[in-house]
């Protein structure tokens, strides 16, 4: 395991400087420790096909140790098996479980889609959140899962079919135009936006941060604004939007939400979510309302994540 100093040396210098500009030194040390090594394998049961009780029984029979997750009864942390070993299990091959980071399960839980609702997943591949929402909705209602990239869209279709998420329709369009096509159409929208992925960096895996740059961050923030505008257009008045990223900076998070509140017909809604490694959002231009957003700090079980909940004004 690397020391915090060694992690600093490995990660992009400007990224580390940005962390110190945003967080306290104690919090930065926590974040850098969380970006240190490998994360535990985490998964959720697909309760359209299986139950958490059946899953735990099966894992015990296979001598696979696990830990329950405080905020989600359907999720487990695997303690003594690799991702590949889990993928070799019959329960994985049959779509009874889905490998997914715990942090990426949080946005769908906060959106909380109900059976019978119409939901848009604007940038949906590979389908973890899409199939999670279908399970939460008990396969009742409708989900439009959109993905621009054709290869990723094929993966999305495969996962939707494998998980038995029958209420999902897959779309291969530019996310920015979906709002124009489906104006005021959905009860809820999930926008897990393409981002710089800072919360998923691993110091020992250069692939996770090789392409990071300030320029890329700026380009992504422009795309995020376009996608969020599309999400607002697509949702009904009073409907809910959850915006999330797996990155740590303000430019792709609070500043995007601040822009949306100022320029679009939305207000921010408080998120009630208890977790030790969750902190509130940061102010932008002394706007305290942005503290209603949350940021998940990375550790051995969680990727770094940002989540904000918005409501469209009438």
Q: Could you give the residue numbers annotated as active site?
A: 246
> CA geometry: angle at 130 spanning 125 and 35, to 5°?
65
E strand intervals along the chain: 41-45, 66-69, 72-78, 97-99, 118-121, 142-146, 168-171, 186-192, 235-245, 266-269, 278-280, 294-296, 305-312
Cα–Cα distances (Å) from 64 to 7, 49, 72, 270, in that order, read: 31, 21, 20, 38
Collapse the DSSP code of 117 into the 3-class scheme (helix H, G, I; strand E, B; otherwise coil) and give the result.
coil
Whether the link from the prior residue into 126 is cis, omega within 30° of 0, is yes
CB burial readout 288-311, b (16+ within 10 A) else e: eebebbbbbbbbebbbbbbbbbbb
């Amino acid at each position: 395991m690397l020391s915090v100093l060694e992690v600093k040396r490995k990660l992009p210098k400007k990224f580390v400087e940005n962390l110190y500009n945003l967080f306290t030194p104690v919090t930065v040390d926590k974040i850098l420790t969380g970006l240190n090594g490998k994360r535990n394998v985490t998964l959720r049961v697909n309760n359209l096909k299986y139950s958490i009780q059946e899953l735990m029984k099966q894992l015990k029979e296979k001598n696979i140790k696990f830990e329950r997750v405080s905020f989600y009864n359907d999720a487990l942390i695997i303690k003594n098996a690799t991702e590949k070993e889990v993928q070799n299990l019959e329960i994985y091959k049959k779509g009874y479980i889905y490998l997914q980071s715990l942090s990426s399960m949080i946005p769908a839980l906060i959106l909380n889609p109900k059976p019978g609702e119409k939901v848009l997943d604007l940038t949906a591949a590979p389908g973890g959140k899409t199939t999670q929402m279908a399970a939460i909705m008990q396969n009742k209602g409708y989900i439009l899962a959109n993905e621009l990239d054709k290869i990723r869209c094929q993966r999305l279709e495969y996962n939707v079919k494998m998980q038995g998420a029958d209420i999902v329709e897959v779309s291969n369009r530019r996310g920015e135009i979906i709002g124009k096509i489906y104006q005021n159409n959905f009860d809820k929208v999930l926008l897990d936006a393409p981002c710089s992925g800072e919360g998923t960096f691993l110091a020992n895996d250069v692939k996770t941060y090789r392409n990071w740059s300030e320029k890329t961050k700026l380009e992504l923030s422009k795309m995020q604004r376009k996608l969020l505008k599309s999400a607002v257009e697509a949702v009904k008045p009073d409907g809910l939007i959850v915006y999330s990223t797996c990155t740590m900076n303000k430019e792709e998070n609070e500043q995007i939400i601040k822009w949306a509140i100022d320029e679009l017909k939305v207000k921010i809604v408080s998120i009630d979510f208890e977790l030790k490694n969750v902190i509130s959002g940061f102010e932008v231009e002394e706007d305290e309302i942005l503290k209603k957003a949350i940021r998940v700090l990375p550790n051995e079980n969680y990727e770094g994540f940002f989540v904000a909940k918005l409501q469209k004004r009438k």
